[in-house]
Structure 1
């Protein structure tokens, strides 16, 4: 019988929750302490969260250990582009 939660899936779930915490936490700081507008706070918190997700997924979910600049740039651009739709939804749909 196949395992329902592999290490990769479990780590992805854990870091997904932590990414949400980073997003909400940074948004709160940017709005309440930095007096940013909702738009800018949302945009910058999304960048923080996706950056956090990229690094944690690279290291602990997918075990990608290469830090060669050419490889990281390609990997990061692909990762951020794939998260672009969520960014647009988050920025456009926040009142």
Structure 2
């Protein structure tokens, strides 16, 4: 099993920045406790304060998949349509070197 990185870019609908930030913050601690989580950090874009970015590192794609089905992720998915203007998810393999 090889590690996978995740970059998740989430842009709030206008006026929903604070609610989106709170919803994303609510994911941090339970996700860090999920099996296989190495890093799970939330950032805000310096030039666009409506945009929040997760940078994650997981022990394997399989454990990332388990995380994606966790209850706390399901709660966020239920909130997302009201809060998100756009969301981009990239799952990355680390290259040697």
| TM-score tier (shorter) | 0.3 to 0.5
Q: Between Structure 1 and Structure 2, which shows a larger proportion of helix residues? A: 1
Q: Between Structure 1 and Structure 2, which shows a larger proportion of strand residues? A: 2
Based on CA coordinates, which of the two structures has the bigger radius of gyration? 1
By relative contact order (CA 8 Å, sep 6+), the higher-ranking structure is 2
